[in-house]
Structure formats: structure tokens, C-alpha cells
Amino acid sequence: MRWTSILAIFILFWTMGFFLVLPFGVRTAEEAGVENQPGHAESAPHAFNFPRTLARAAILGAAMTALYVANYIYGWVTVEQLDWVH
């Protein structure tokens, strides 16, 4: 497998992972112990840490890419094993 294919797979897994880790670690103003500002929804996040979310998504994307490439090399799960119709 070429490195460009691995990079493309990582970007796909990173994008999926970003949306998966997005809600983790987010606290509302009430949970943070501060007063809610007028005009803000009560469920709105108090402070969003974008770099931390990017790092979490990168770690998850790297792990998922490593598993995908390892499966590609060693053939743990093949297409024939996933064909449940025939």
C-alpha cells in the first residue's frame, strides 16, 4: 500500500473520529459554575477546547488507520468473511 493511500485513509478516519470525539469533555455554563449569558442556550458549551479535540481525533484516527493497514497486510478479516449472503 502506498503512503498516499495510507494518508487518505487517515484523513477519512480522522474526520470520522473528529465527529465522534466532539461531544466528549464539553461542559455547560452550569457545570462549569459560571452564570449563563443572556441569549445563550442552556445547553451551549461554556468553553470549547479545539486543539484538544483535534488531538483526540488524531489519536483515534491514527489507531484506526494502524488497524486498517495491519488488516490489509495480515489479512485478518477478508471480503469473503464479510459476504453473509452467499
User: pLDDT over 90 for what percent of the chain?
Assistant: 58
Place of cell 464479510: 82
DSSP per-residue string spanning 29-83: HHHHTSPPPTTS-TTSBS---HHHHHHHHHHHHHHHHHHHHHHHHH-SS-HHHH-
Q: How many domains does the chain have?
A: 1
Please report the pLDDT score of residue 40 as a whole number: 84
Secondary structure class of 10 (helix, strand, coil): helix
Q: In terms of residue numbers, what domain contains 25?
A: 3-82
Q: What is the arithmetic mean of pLDDT over 32-57?
A: 89
Kindly report the average pLDDT of the chain as a whole number. 92
Give this prediction's pTM. 0.82
Please report the pLDDT score of residue 68 as a whole number: 97
Q: What is the arithmetic mean of pLDDT over 30-50?
A: 86
User: pLDDT over 70 for what percent of the chain?
Assistant: 100
